[in-house]
Amino acid sequence: MLNHPCRVLLVEDEPEDLKKLQTILTNAHSASFRRGFNLTWAETVAQGKQLIAQTEFDVVILDLMLPDSRGLNTLREIQSIISKIPIIVLTSIEDEIVAVKVLELGACGYLPKNVLEQNLLIYAIRTAIERKLQLAKFEEWQKQQPAQEIALLENFLADKTINEQLADSESLQQKMPDIVAEIKERYHDLLDRFVEQRIYKVQYEINRNIEVLVEQLGYLQATPRDLIEIHTTILKQKQATLGQRQAMTYTIEGRYLLLEMMGKLAAYYRKYYMGLNKINLVQNYSNEILKNNQRSNN
């Protein structure tokens, strides 16, 4: 699992509990930790913080009841200076509510002292490290998703086949920059309300707002390229001003808005016979975005 001895910080003030932990880990033989364990000890939160600032650790085993800190505040104190090191809470308090709470606060494991034994402790350490690694991978994936979404949309806009079909037409941005600026403002507000309605179940007249905006785009003979340019611009603004999680939410939920807008724009062109080429382009874009959405969900 690790190509070096597992570096463990024990934050524990009870001599008997500390001796038990040291004995278990010193004598442990595990396929997951073939190089064994290097143990470092602190008996207060202050000492633990100092050691964390000076040394790299793979896992922290933390007693909640220490001379300079008690209860959940002990966990918060240690978490305030580390984000990537998994923490296993070790305590004499047998309380399911406390166990749930420490996990909610971000601990990667919880062990009552009265059930402490070698296999359980080794399993808790391995699970905590694996969980933290998986969480780091997921967070990295989340960071990349908004940028990948923008890249995908921009690839659509740069598609040679699409551009050849639209070679004789300027984009709305080129023809009517002032009007497009107003449309972008409306799309910005629409995206906000669309996300709020889907996530927080706030009720807005979303369908009517979408129809009004689609009618305006249809009247201006907007192409799928125009709609995607507008969507991409607003998405970039969101990513520049929001935190990682919010930007991710707008990226994912924004796909559904874009798909719905594409569908309604296609319906508008069918209704008013404004050309099969535009219909086909809208459908092609919608299908590609839908495929990408399905891949992301999987």
Domain ranges within the chain, ordered by starting residue = 6-135, 159-297
- Tell me what percent of the residues of the chain surpass a pLDDT of 90: 51
CATH of domain 6-135: 3.40.50.2300
pLDDT of residue 19: 94
Overall average pLDDT of the 166-178 stretch: 78
> What percent of the chain shows pLDDT beyond 70?
85
**What's the average model confidence in pLDDT over 285-297?**
66
Average pLDDT rounded to a whole number, residues 62-90: 93
Q: Mean per-residue pLDDT for 116-122?
A: 91
- Residue appearing with tokens 């033989």: 29
Please, what's the b/e burial string for 201-234 (b: 16 or more CB within 10 A of its CB; e: otherwise)? eeeeebeebbeebbeebbeeebbbbbbbbbbbbb
Burial of 151 (0-12, 13-18, 19+ CB in 10 A): exposed
Distance CA 176, CA 110 (A): 61
CB within 8 A of 124, min separation 6: which ones? 88, 109, 111
Which structure tokens are listed for 142?
A: 């989340």
CA-angle at 87, arms to 83 and 89, nearest 5° = 145
pLDDT by residue (tens digit) across 240-282? 999 888 888 999 899 999 989 988 888 888 776 544 455 555 5
